[in-house]
Amino acid sequence: MSGIHWGSVMDRIDEVALHVYHAVFGNQESVMIKGKRYPIRKTPRLGLRIVEAGKYVFLEQNPEKDSRFGAMARQGRKILWVIEDGDYTAFVMDGEYHGFK
């Protein structure tokens, strides 16, 4: 999979989030962002897929979570959260970006 390069035109977090989403749910081992390869790891306790890239964290939805999004994940929806500096700012669900700002 080709990499996303943050720069003048590619600074759009929606494009980066979609790129990471496809890598995570495409079962890739890593993702290239801004010329740097970031591993797609699993969280220690729950085994959720996560990418940490600078001020951004991309985290797979926990299907065991007692929430609307947890229920959707249990139903097979693919959800990836975008966390910027510790704040949930967007999510990608089934390949569609949804921003909160």
Q: What is the mean pLDDT of the chain?
A: 91
With a CB cutoff of 8 Å and minimum separation 6, the contacts of 79 are 60, 61, 69, 72, 73, 91, 92, 93, 94
Give me the percent of the chain exceeding a pLDDT of 90.
85
pLDDT greater than 50 at residue 70: yes
Provide mean pLDDT across the span 17-38.
Answer: 96
pLDDT at res. 9 = 37
pLDDT at 19: 97
